C-alpha cells in the first residue's frame, strides 16, 4: 500500500496527458487550429527541467503511466511553437501585408496587360476592395479595415464541403486570376466529371461530392438524371431504362391526354393553361411547341397524382429540368433566345419524357407541399421562423414589431423553391447542390431560405414600415446575381444545417 504522500505526489502531476484525453480532432467538419484566432486558448507550458533526476520507487501503475505516450498528444513542443506564433504575429499586420501583396500583384498584372495591348487611357486605380478571402477559422475576427465597411460578410464558423474561393459579399466580381487560369480550373473540373462518368458503374456518392460546388454545363444533363435517380448507375442498363421510361410516358399521354377537356378534368387543364404563360423565361415558354410540352407534362402528372392534383407552383418546377436537357441540343448560350422548333421532333420527345420523370422524382419528396391545405409548406414556414429567431433575433424582432408574418413572404419561397426570387441561371446552380444533398429539396432548402433572409438583414433593418418591408421581401434585388452569390448562400446554409439539423431543440424556445 502506497503512502498518502506518494498518492498526492502522483495526482499532482497535472501536466502529463493520459490516454483518452480530449484533443482537437481535425477533419471535414472541423477547421484547422488557427493560432491567430485561438491564440488566447494557448498557454506556454513551463519547461520541464532536463537535468536527470534519480528515479524514485513508484507503483507499477505509475511506471506504466510515465512510460506510456499518448497517441493523440500533439506534444509540448507543438504547443510552444503555436504560442510563440501567437505572441509574435499581429493580426492587423498580417492582413495589411497580405493586402499589399495583392495590390502589388494586381498592379504587375495591369502593367503586363498594358505592355501587350498599348492604350492611350490612363491606368486604372487598384481596386479598393482587395480583401483576403478569410479562412473558415478566421471568420469571427474582423480586421480594422473591414470593421468600417458598409458590407459585412456573412459569418462562417464551420468547414464547408469542397470549399471554393468565392467573393464574401455582393455581386460577383471579376477574379484576379487570368482568363486562362480560370478556364484551366473549369477544364480540370470537367475532366474529373468525365472520368467519373466514364466508368462502367458510376460512383454516385463521389458524384454527389463533386457536384455539390456546381456541375459543368456539358455534363449537367446526365449528372442530373443520375442524381435524381432516373438513370441507373450501371452504364449498360441506361439505354434500356431510357427507352422503357420514354415509352411508358407516351403511353400515359395516349391514355389520358385526350380526356383533358372532359368535365372532370377541365378545371385542372384550364388552370394549367392559364399558369404557363406566366412562367419565365417568356421567350422560351411562349413558343407553341414548348407550351404544348409543358401542358402535357403537368396534366399527366396531375392525373397520376390525385392526392394533390395540380397546384400553382408545380409549373415552375418543370422549367429547370427542361432547360438543362434542351441545352444539350441547341447552340445558343442564352436559352431564352433559342428556337426550339429547330430541334428534331424525336429529340424533343425524349427531352419531354426525361423532364417528366425527373420532375416526378423531385415532387415525390415534397408532395406534402401540394396536398390539401399544403401542410408541408405550413410546417416549413414555421420552422423557418423558429430558426431565424435563433440565428438572428434582431431581424426576427424587427419583422414581428412591424407585424410582418413569415407566411406572407416565405410561402412562395417554399412553394416555388426560390425560383421566383432568383434568376433561372441561379436556380440551376442551386439545384446542382440540392440534388447533391440528401433530402436537398425537402430539408436543405429550409436552411437556404434562412440564409437567404439573413443575407438582407441590413436592408430589412433599415425599413420602418410594414408595406415597404413586405414589398422589399417580395421583390428582392437579385437580378444581377451569379454563381458567386449562390455559392456564398449555399455555404452559409451548410453552416446552419451543420449547427441545427442534428440538434432541432437548438431552435426551439
Beta strands in 348-435 (DSSP E): none
Residue holding cell 458567386? 484
Q: What is the DSSP string of 58-91?
A: --HHHHHHHHPPPTT---HHHHHHHHHHHHH--H
Q: Dig out the grid coordinates for 429 from the structure.
A: 446552380
Task: Quote the DSSP letter at residue 213.
Answer: T
Q: Dig out the grid coordinates for 207 from the structure.
A: 458524384
Q: How far apart are CA 293 and CA 145, in angstroms?
A: 54
Non-local CB neighbours of 260 within 8 Å, separated by 6+ positions: 266, 268, 269, 299
pLDDT tens, position by position, 378-390: 999 999 999 999 9
Identify the pLDDT of residue 402.
95
Going by C-alpha positions, the residue among 497, 433, 393, 449 that lies closest to residue 158 is 497
CA angle 312-297-211, nearest 5°?
85
Would you say how long the chain is, in residues?
A: 509
Non-local CB neighbours of 312 within 8 Å, separated by 6+ positions: 271, 275, 415
The model's confidence at residue 185, banded by pLDDT at 50, 70 and 90, is confident
Non-local CB neighbours of 123 within 8 Å, separated by 6+ positions: 110, 114
> Does the pTM of the predicted model rise above 0.85?
no
The model's confidence at residue 118, banded by pLDDT at 50, 70 and 90, is very low
Identify the pLDDT of residue 92.
63
The model's confidence at residue 156, banded by pLDDT at 50, 70 and 90, is very low
Strand, coil or helix: 30: strand
Q: What average pLDDT does range 455-473 have in this prediction?
A: 94
Q: What average pLDDT does range 177-194 have in this prediction?
A: 76
Residue holding cell 509574435? 88
Amino acid at each position: 500500500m502506497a503512502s498518502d504522500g506518494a498518492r498526492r505526489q502522483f495526482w499532482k502531476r497535472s501536466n502529463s496527458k493520459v490516454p483518452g484525453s480530449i484533443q482537437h480532432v481535425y477533419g471535414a467538419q472541423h477547421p484547422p487550429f488557427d493560432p491567430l484566432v485561438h491564440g488566447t486558448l494557448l498557454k506556454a507550458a513551463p519547461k520541464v527541467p532536463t537535468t536527470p533526476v534519480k528515479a524514485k520507487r513508484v507503483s507499477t501503475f505509475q511506471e506504466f503511466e510515465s512510460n506510456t505516450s499518448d497517441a493523440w498528444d500533439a506534444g509540448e513542443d507543438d504547443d510552444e511553437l503555436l504560442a510563440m506564433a501567437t505572441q509574435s504575429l499581429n493580426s492587423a499586420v498580417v492582413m495589411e501585408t497580405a493586402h499589399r501583396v495583392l495590390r502589388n500583384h494586381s498592379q504587375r498584372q495591369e502593367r503586363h496587360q498594358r505592355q501587350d495591348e498599348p492604350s492611350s487611357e490612363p491606368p486604372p486605380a487598384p481596386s479598393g476592395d482587395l480583401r483576403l478571402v478569410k479562412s473558415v477559422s478566421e471568420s469571427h475576427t474582423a480586421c480594422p479595415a473591414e470593421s468600417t465597411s458598409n458590407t459585412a460578410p456573412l459569418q462562417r464558423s464551420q468547414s464547408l464541403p469542397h470549399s471554393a474561393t468565392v467573393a464574401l459579399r455582393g455581386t460577383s466580381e471579376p477574379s484576379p486570376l487570368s482568363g486562362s487560369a480560370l478556364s484551366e480550373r473549369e477544364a480540370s473540373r470537367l475532366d474529373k466529371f468525365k472520368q467519373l462518368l466514364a466508368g462502367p458503374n458510376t460512383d454516385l456518392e463521389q458524384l454527389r461530392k463533386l457536384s455539390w460546388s456546381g456541375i459543368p454545363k456539358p455534363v449537367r444533363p446526365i449528372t442530373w438524371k443520375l442524381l435524381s435517380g432516373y438513370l441507373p448507375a450501371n452504364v449498360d442498363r441506361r439505354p434500356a431504362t431510357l427507352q422503357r421510361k420514354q415509352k411508358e410516358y407516351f403511353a400515359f399521354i395516349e391514355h389520358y391526354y385526350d380526356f383533358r377537356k372532359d368535365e372532370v378534368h377541365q378545371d385542372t387543364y384550364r388552370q394549367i393553361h392559364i399558369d404557363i404563360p406566366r412562367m419565365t423565361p417568356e421567350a422560351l415558354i411562349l413558343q407553341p411547341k414548348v407550351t404544348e410540352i409543358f401542358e402535357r407534362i403537368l396534366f399527366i402528372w396531375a392525373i397520376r397524382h390525385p392526392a394533390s392534383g395540380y397546384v400553382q407552383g408545380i409549373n415552375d418546377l418543370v422549367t429547370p429540368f427542361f432547360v438543362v436537357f434542351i441545352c444539350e441540343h441547341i447552340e445558343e448560350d442564352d436559352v431564352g433566345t433559342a428556337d426550339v422548333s429547330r430541334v428534331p421532333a424525336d429529340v424533343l420527345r425524349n427531352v419531354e419524357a426525361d423532364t417528366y420523370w425527373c420532375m416526378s422524382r423531385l415532387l415525390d419528396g415534397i408532395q406534402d407541399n401540394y396536398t390539401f391545405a399544403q401542410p408541408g409548406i405550413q410546417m416549413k414556414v414555421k420552422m423557418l421562423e423558429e430558426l431565424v429567431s435563433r440565428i438572428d433575433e434582431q431581424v426576427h424582432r424587427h419583422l414581428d414589431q412591424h407585424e410582418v408574418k413569415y407566411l406572407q413572404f416565405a410561402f412562395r419561397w417554399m412553394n416555388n423553391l426560390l425560383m421566383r426570387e432568383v434568376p433561372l441561371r441561379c436556380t440551376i446552380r442551386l439545384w446542382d447542390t440540392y440534388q447533391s444533398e440528401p433530402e436537398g429539396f425537402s430539408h436543405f432548402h429550409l436552411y437556404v431560405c434562412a440564409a437567404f433572409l439573413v443575407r438582407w438583414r441590413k436592408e430589412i433593418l433599415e425599413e420602418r414600415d410594414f408595406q415597404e418591408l413586405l414589398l422589399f421581401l417580395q421583390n428582392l434585388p437579385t437580378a444581377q446575381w451569379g454563381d458567386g452569390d449562390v455559392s456564398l448562400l449555399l455555404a452559409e446554409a451548410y453552416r446552419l444545417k451543420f449547427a441545427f439539423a442534428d440538434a432541432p431543440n437548438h431552435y426551439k424556445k
